């Protein structure tokens, strides 16, 4: 569940990933005015946004409430509030984007006010027995903007509201220098999940360049996170979960494999044994 905020009105990644312009409008993707905590666009390449006022905040909170009700009617089992990657709620949290001086800006408490209000209304509208997750960028970058200490403070407040787990990612703000980017390597965001799990006392989800069953399993076994989430690896290999179950000994008979794929693997295994 998300609102794109200052990153709205943008191209698909395969079209350039920038703001929509005249060429996009010519093929039917017409730009619109994005919303944000101030009039500043996401970066210098983006146009100014509509600065959200107190009335807009009330309207948006009601939109989240209604969206939660629609998700419930549609039969979803869990909801995740997306407050990361430079989208609307993240832009209110980060001091790099939120330079307001009213009740929704300033110190940490003010910058958390709107995202906490969203979490509260979603939890009220979502059944207690169904999980509610909150995805946050645990840091804006290296030694700049929103910090891991800020994330721990927010996670504690979310736990009190009834959020069940924090999905721990990073980045998404336009940073002044490439030197501020978080270094990317396999499992590079796992330390954030561990820090919030230990500092806020609530379950976390580890994400980011997690590519193997052994790596994912080790993260949980070592207590760095309670869950592991994969996206690109699952797109690359739609049978990842079934392969992981076999690799880790949870499904040695291939019961969870697609029938056609399991049949092919067994045939290949027999051929391998004959050729030894």
Strand partners, 227: 205
- Residue 209: Cβ within 10 Å count: 15
- Kindly tell me the burial class for residue 223, based on how many C-beta atoms sit within 10 Å of its own C-beta (0-12, 13-18, 19 or more): exposed
d(C-alpha 57, C-alpha 54), whole Å: 5
Give Cα separations from 53 to 58, 103, 104, 152, 177 (angstroms): 9, 11, 9, 27, 30
Whether 59 is catalytic: no
Choice among 46, 59, 64, 87 that is catalytic? 87
Residues serving a catalytic function are 87
């Amino acid at each position: 569940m998300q609102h794109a905020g200052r990153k709205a009105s943008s191209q698909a990644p395969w079209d350039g990933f920038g703001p929509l312009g005249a060429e996009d409008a010519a093929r039917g993707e017409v730009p619109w005015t994005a919303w944000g905590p101030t009039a500043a666009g996401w970066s210098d390449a983006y146009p100014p946004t509509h600065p959200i006022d107190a009335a807009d905040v009330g309207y948006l909170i009601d939109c989240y409430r209604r969206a939660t009700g629609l998700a419930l009617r549609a039969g979803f089992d869990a909801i995740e509030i997306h407050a990361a990657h430079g989208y609307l709620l993240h832009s209110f949290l980060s001091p790099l984007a939120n330079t307001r001086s009213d009740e929704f800006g300033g110190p940490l408490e003010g910058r958390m006010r709107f995202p906490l209000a969203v979490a509260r209304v979603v939890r009220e509208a979502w059944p207690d027995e169904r999980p509610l997750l909150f995805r946050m960028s645990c840091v804006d970058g290296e030694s700049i903007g929103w910090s891991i200490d800020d994330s721990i403070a927010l996670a504690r407040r979310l736990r009190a509201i009834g959020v069940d787990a924090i999905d721990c990612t990073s980045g998404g703000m336009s940073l002044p220098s490439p030197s501020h980017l978080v270094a990317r390597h396999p499992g590079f965001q796992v330390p954030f999940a561990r820090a919030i799990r230990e500092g806020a006392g609530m379950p976390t989800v580890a994400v980011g360049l997690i590519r193997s069953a052994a790596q994912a399993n080790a993260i949980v076994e070592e207590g760095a996170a309670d869950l592991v989430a994969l996206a690109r690896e699952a797109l690359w290999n739609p049978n990842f979960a079934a392969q992981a179950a076999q690799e880790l000994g949870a499904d040695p008979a291939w019961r969870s494999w697609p029938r056609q794929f399991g049949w092919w693997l067994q045939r290949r295994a027999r051929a391998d044994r004959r050729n030894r």
